[in-house]
Chain A
Amino acid sequence: MNVLGSLAVASLLAGLGFVGGQAAGLRPVFGTLIPYAAFVTFLLGVSYRILVWMRSPVPFRIPTTCGQQKSLPWIKSSRLENPSSTLGVIGRMALEIGLFRSLFRDTRVELREGPRLAYGEARLLWLGALLFHWSLLFVVLRHLRFFLEPVPAVVNVLASVDSFFQVGAPGLYVTDVVLTGALGYLLLRRLVNPQVRYISLFADYFALFLLLGIAVSGILMRYVVRIDTVAAKQLALGLVTFSPVLPEKVGPLFFVHLFLLSVLAAYFPFSKLMHMGGVFLSPTRNLANTSRMRRHINPWNSPVKVHTYEEWEDEFRDKIKAAGLPLEKE
């Protein structure tokens, strides 16, 4: 139900973009108004989420410790798995964000004959996620050629590296293939594996379908149903220079691409996609384990009124003495 529902919504949105690109009256809405609104929503939404997270208190050190913590000098400590310094935390975060280190530790559990519970390594999710995220970064950076004029040399270098294999014209981008393949795997994983399918929600599929829709429409525009690239750039430049133009020649497929992207950008701050910002703010990753080196006192501990035994004895000294009970202090 989650699968079909999210597929239906994503298809509906793609269809809406298609219609918006064809109807002359709707083109300003889909080509100018919605992209601007989506971008503003993205910026404000992401900032809001980060600022809310920034204000949440983190009084104690709660890093996940996956190695020996720093203690006595002759005990070898694990600097990345259990960092005790800022440098260690930076290293750990860099590996987490760049290489998805914690995902690499994923395991698989199976019930074998016997019955016997068997554990094994599971690296496919890590590989798929890594390929997807890095390809997406490359694709986004390559798209700068539509938004910058003159195009910086870096973007040209990226494009020429990406089309290294020189297949056809326009040259086939490796990241296009890898991105779609990885997205396909991430979707299939949710559909094929019963356990993962059971815990998959509407939002999980929806993000995948949106991204797949954007990727497939982009690939179609480049390799199959070709569009006028120059007109597409004119539209993009018009948007970013605040002098929007709507070239007649840009095909409806372009509007599918643009509208799905707008939906993704507007949906981003309210969805699980916020892990882009959230990964930097995970207290289980970005805190050094100094719990035993330093005493961390909760800064908003309210003062507790205590009544010690000495005070109590002073209060009732006469009565205790009269009853003949022993006293700590005579």
Chain B
Amino acid sequence: MSDRGLIVGGLVLFLALVTLPLWFNVAAGTTSKLPELTLPEGKDPFGTAEYMRASHMDLLMTWRDEVVRNQERTVVGLDGKTYAKSLTGTCLACHVNRATFCDRCHDYAAVKPTCWECHLEPRPVQRAAQ
């Protein structure tokens, strides 16, 4: 039949598309290594690493709503200290570098958070001046 070439060609194309991750990652030299983060000293006062990895965005959104809608601007951390509910002022005070902390995982998981459209990224120069 004259259609055989067409059908086999279509099947081969389909198989090539379905197995795309296999050869794409071979070509890109990808391994299953996790992205490396620069972590600050000490413990996070707002939750375990496990909780933070999965739900930090939920925490930030909850803070945002509480600050913007209820004017609840402070939070008591697990260590008993009071913190301002602030991404730039609190979170990024310890997690100094956005590029080697936030972005590493966000790029890895192809997440594009809208945080940085408004929030400023504290630069090391500014910090030194303070």
Chain A residues within 8 Å of B, Cβ to Cβ: 42-43, 46-47, 50-51, 53-54, 57-58, 144-151, 155-156, 159-160, 166, 168-171, 226-231, 233-235, 237-238, 240-241, 243-245, 249, 277, 280-281
Contacts and interface: CB of A to CB of B under 8 A. Distances in A.
Contact of A149 (B1, B11, B28): B28
A170 B21 CA distance: 24
B7 A147 contact: no
A42 to B, nearest CB: 8
B15 A249 contact: no
B108 A238 contact: no
Contacts of B19: 43
B53 interface: yes
Contacts of B109: 145-146, 229-230, 233
Nearest to A237: B32
Given A50-B7, A229-B54, 4 more contacts: A47-B15, A169-B113, A170-B111, A240-B22
Interface residues of B, number: 40
Contact of A155 (B25, B53, B55, B110): B110
Contacts of B54: 226-229
B45 interface: no
B57 A170 contact: yes
B108 A241 contact: no
A241 B24 contact: no
B32 A243 contact: yes
Contacts of A145: 109-110
A240 B21 contact: yes
Contacts of B79: none
Interface in B46-88: 50, 53-55, 57-58, 60-61
Nearest to A57: B1
B31 interface: yes
Nearest to A230: B105
B25 A241 contact: yes
A160 B111 CA distance: 9
A47 B7 CA distance: 11
A169 B60 contact: yes
A50 B112 CA distance: 40
Nearest to B37: A230
A54 B8 contact: yes
Contacts of A160: 112
A169 B110 contact: no
A159 B31 CA distance: 23
A257 to B, nearest CB: 15
